[in-house]
Structure 1
Amino acid sequence: MSDTRRKLIDGAIEAIRTVGISGVSARSIAAAAGVNQALVFYHFGSVHELLGAACMTHTKASVELFQPALDKVTTLKQLLAVGRDMHTQQSQTFNVTILAQLLAGSRTDAGLAETTRAALQLWIDAIEQVLIRVLATSPAKDLVDTKGLASAVSAAFIGLELYEGIDPAGAVHALDTLDQLAVLVEVVDDLGPIARRAFRAKVKRVADR
């Protein structure tokens, strides 16, 4: 990636942070990047194309930053611990706020929606691989749609980050409750063979109602 393209992508992220998606323009991006605004169109064709590139680049960097920690996860409790660390770091850098702004802008821009969806999928894919590994020996293995659960976890993470902005105590309480659920899953995982079969049968009966 050329130095100018890198500056423009960084400038786009900074513009979203400072003026929000509704206030982003070639001028605000160029000012944040310290370049002539004509370069936005020369390198990307349009502001929306630049925002899409910034979204993918920014999200990919965030996923790569936490991938080593995700690779070490072997339990849901550990996954939540990584999630708490991500929550702290992403809040400090406003990374989730940026993604939320892009999601908001995607409601009226099909092109940006496609790119933002692809960026969010990077998180979903990373979390899905963790869930597949964590649930591999769990009695719940055949009862959980890991792809759907990964999507739910990713969406919940974004929601919690935004929720914290209006109710910090409520967000902490929500994370603590997720920890309790992780403990419950560990208890189920420690069941003996007979109890595991009974658990699976009971859950299946309830799910089939």
Structure 2
Amino acid sequence: MTGGGGQASSGRGQEPSGRGQASSGRGQATKTRLLDAAAQLVGEVGWGAVSTRLVAERAGVNPALVHYHFSSVADLLREAVMRTAREMVFQLVDVLSQAADVRTGVDTLFGFLRPYTGTDPASLLMVEGFLAATRDDALRAEFATLIEEIRQRFADWLAACGHPDPIVSAGVFAALIDGLLLHRAVLPDMDFEAYQRTVTRMLSAGVPEKRDRHE
């Protein structure tokens, strides 16, 4: 068996034959369904309980197709969680980069995080993924690379806002996001607005007033 894009060794589990874009499109659609199914199942049954059979049943495909597109269930789960993580990170970075000052940026951040309750499928997938990364060197490396990237993006934004210590503050800011998601899972009634005001004060410290004012 091979990973996605390779040739199946023989018969069973191979994508339906075809040529050109139609065949490629069918294969990508199947892979996407498998990733979606795996992401959903992690939140329902836990990372370690996701199996080839469960993923195939949820995706509505032959179990052999799981191993046509992914070398193992671990590989499937790794790609599923990193796909979600990258989508969340880059959506946040995109909206944050449009904020001209710290206060607007923090408002943007908390607005972005509000739908992530800590118990929604994406939040649960991220929590399970971080835990799995403590035992999976490949997943740990991917998370580390992504965290470094978001820290750098945050640091660039804070520097543009005139923050006096953008690099360290960016690390705290990134960790804050993960912490909020974890806490919301067990403290659903936490005062989000109070946290927002406190984070605004913390990140605004030392920033020139003219760079941190609503126009």
TM-score, normalised on structure 2? 0.73
Which whole-Å CA distance do the structure 1 matches of 2:203 and 2:155 have between them? 16
Which whole-Å CA distance do the structure 2 matches of 1:34 and 1:122 have between them? 36
Work out whether residues 48 and 112 of structure 1, in 8 Å CA contact, stay in contact via their aligned partners in 2: no
Matched residue SS, 2:186: coil
1:60 equivalent to 2:86? Answer yes
Matched residue SS, 2:114: helix
1:134 equivalent to 2:126? Answer no
Which whole-Å CA distance do the structure 1 matches of 2:136 and 2:203 have between them? 38
Is the alpha carbon distance of 1:190 and 1:174 closer, same or farther for their aligned partners in structure 2, counting shifts above 3 Å? Answer: closer
Work out whether residues 30 and 36 of structure 1, in 8 Å CA contact, stay in contact via their aligned partners in 2: yes
Match of 1:154 in 2: 174
Q: RMSD between aligned alpha carbons?
A: 2.5
Match of 2:195 in 1: 174
Match of 2:50 in 1: 24
Cα deviation code 1:144-196 (max 9, x no counterpart): 2x34332321221111111122224445233332123245445xx138xxxxx
Which whole-Å CA distance do the structure 2 matches of 1:67 and 1:14 have between them? 24
Is the alpha carbon distance of 1:64 and 1:51 closer, same or farther for their aligned partners in structure 2, counting shifts above 3 Å? Answer: same
Is the alpha carbon distance of 1:121 and 1:3 closer, same or farther for their aligned partners in structure 2, counting shifts above 3 Å? Answer: farther
Which whole-Å CA distance do the structure 2 matches of 1:122 and 1:14 have between them? 26
* Cα drift, residue 11 of structure 1: 1.2
1:164 equivalent to 2:184? Answer yes
Match of 1:90 in 2: 116
Work out whether residues 60 and 122 of structure 1, in 8 Å CA contact, stay in contact via their aligned partners in 2: no
Is the alpha carbon distance of 1:48 and 1:60 closer, same or farther for their aligned partners in structure 2, counting shifts above 3 Å? Answer: same
1:112 equivalent to 2:131? Answer no
Work out whether residues 16 and 98 of structure 1, in 8 Å CA contact, stay in contact via their aligned partners in 2: yes
Match of 1:202 in 2: none
Work out whether residues 21 and 105 of structure 1, in 8 Å CA contact, stay in contact via their aligned partners in 2: yes
* Cα drift, residue 48 of structure 1: 1.3
Is the alpha carbon distance of 1:129 and 1:95 closer, same or farther for their aligned partners in structure 2, counting shifts above 3 Å? Answer: farther
Work out whether residues 39 and 121 of structure 2, in 8 Å CA contact, stay in contact via their aligned partners in 1: no
Identical positions, percent: 21
Is the alpha carbon distance of 1:150 and 1:96 closer, same or farther for their aligned partners in structure 2, counting shifts above 3 Å? Answer: farther
Match of 1:124 in 2: 151
Match of 2:9 in 1: none
Is the alpha carbon distance of 1:122 and 1:16 closer, same or farther for their aligned partners in structure 2, counting shifts above 3 Å? Answer: farther
Which whole-Å CA distance do the structure 1 matches of 2:197 and 2:121 have between them? 22
Query: Given residue 33 of structure 2, which amino acid in structure 1 is its aligned partner?
Result: K
1:39 equivalent to 2:58? Answer no
Stretches of structure 1 lacking an aligned partner (at least 5 in a row) = 192-209
Q: How many residues align?
A: 182
Work out whether residues 163 and 171 of structure 1, in 8 Å CA contact, stay in contact via their aligned partners in 2: no
Is the alpha carbon distance of 1:66 and 1:160 closer, same or farther for their aligned partners in structure 2, counting shifts above 3 Å? Answer: closer
Matched residue SS, 1:90: coil
Work out whether residues 96 and 108 of structure 2, in 8 Å CA contact, stay in contact via their aligned partners in 1: yes
